Amino acid sequence: MERFQRNPGLLRSLQHLDAFARRGTLAEAAGELGVSVSAVSHQLNELATFIGEPLVVKTGRRLTLTDTGRLLAQDVSQVLRLLDASLNTAVGKGRHTLRISVCSAFGPYWLAPRLPLFRTAYPDVDVELTMYTLDPQTIETGFDVAITTATLGGGVQAVPFHEETLVAVASPAALAGGDPEGLALITTDTQATAPGAEWNRFDVMSGGMMVAKKQGDWLFCSHYILAREAARAGLGAALLPDFMAKEGLADGSLVTIHPLSMPAGRTYRLCFKSAREQEYPIRLFSRWIRAQKS
């Protein structure tokens, strides 16, 4: 607090940094704050002088944040969100928002069907969902928590809550011949050195010969959601997370081709910054998601 007391304009400079980090340009930050572009530039320079190193750098014709500026902006964003929450509580606005980042498979097929239960239990928490295609490496400013099988660094707490299990499925039309061995196989293990690794593991565990007797070449799919739709279209058999196969098995567009359910070796974790563990929406969501049955 002593530094803030000695420099009461510091909070204003931090607000300008936050606006620039979110908006991306001096002009848009100035428009949001209702000040001139030169005022935003001045505040960023003042803050850089206080910090003792540059916070922005010119890249081509654009200004971008340095590593120090980016890390500081992330922390400032969290602090400002906490201040907003405190002010809302103080004036009787008890709503909170939780921004969740999740992958294209888990979000629609596991989380979304269960979210009404969370919203019913905690109606004062609004949920914003974003979808990522590449596993996040850190907790970014665009979301509060991430659900991922990846290992995140940077002071992140990871709460494991779901072990992925794969089931072998195909469309009824693909099984018209009766014998599942001899089907075309759809794989999401697309590495050239070990294509179809999950099917090879499945054969070892089941004692089957799906790979040895497969029809034609592998059908490669980068994501489970593509493999699911390819299987439903009759293009072959796929190994899918059980939560993704559930709807197709219920409506008859998919059938299981073997009773074995195979552990995928991946654990879904709820990840958030350790420093934010006690924030109201994160605390509630962490407790709720651990209580959900897979």
Q: Indicate whether 71 pLDDT > 70.
A: yes
Q: Indicate whether 1 pLDDT > 50.
A: no
The per-type count for the chain, helices as H runs and strands as E runs, is 11, 10
76-121 confidence digits (pLDDT tens): 888 887 777 666 656 545 568 899 999 889 999 999 999 999 999 9
Q: How large is the average pLDDT for residues 32-49?
A: 90
143-202 confidence digits (pLDDT tens): 889 999 988 877 889 999 999 999 999 999 998 877 888 899 999 987 767 789 999 999
Radius of gyration of the chain, Cα coordinates, nearest whole angstrom: 25
Q: Give the DSSP per-residue string, 71-91.
A: HHHHHHHHHHHHHHHHHHHHT
Q: Give the DSSP per-residue string, 133-155.
A: SS--SS--TT-SEEEESSPP-SS
pLDDT at res. 273: 87
Cα angle 7, 13, 16; round to 5: 165
- What is the CA 96 to chain-centroid distance, rounded? 20
| pLDDT, averaged across the chain | 88
- 120 in Cβ contact with 107 (< 8 Å): no
CA atoms within 13 A of residue 54's CA, in its CB half-sphere: 8
Q: Indicate whether 5 pLDDT > 60.
A: no
- Give CA–CA dist 255/170, Å, rounded: 6
Q: Using pLDDT thresholds of 50, 70 and 90, give the confidence band for residue 2.
A: low
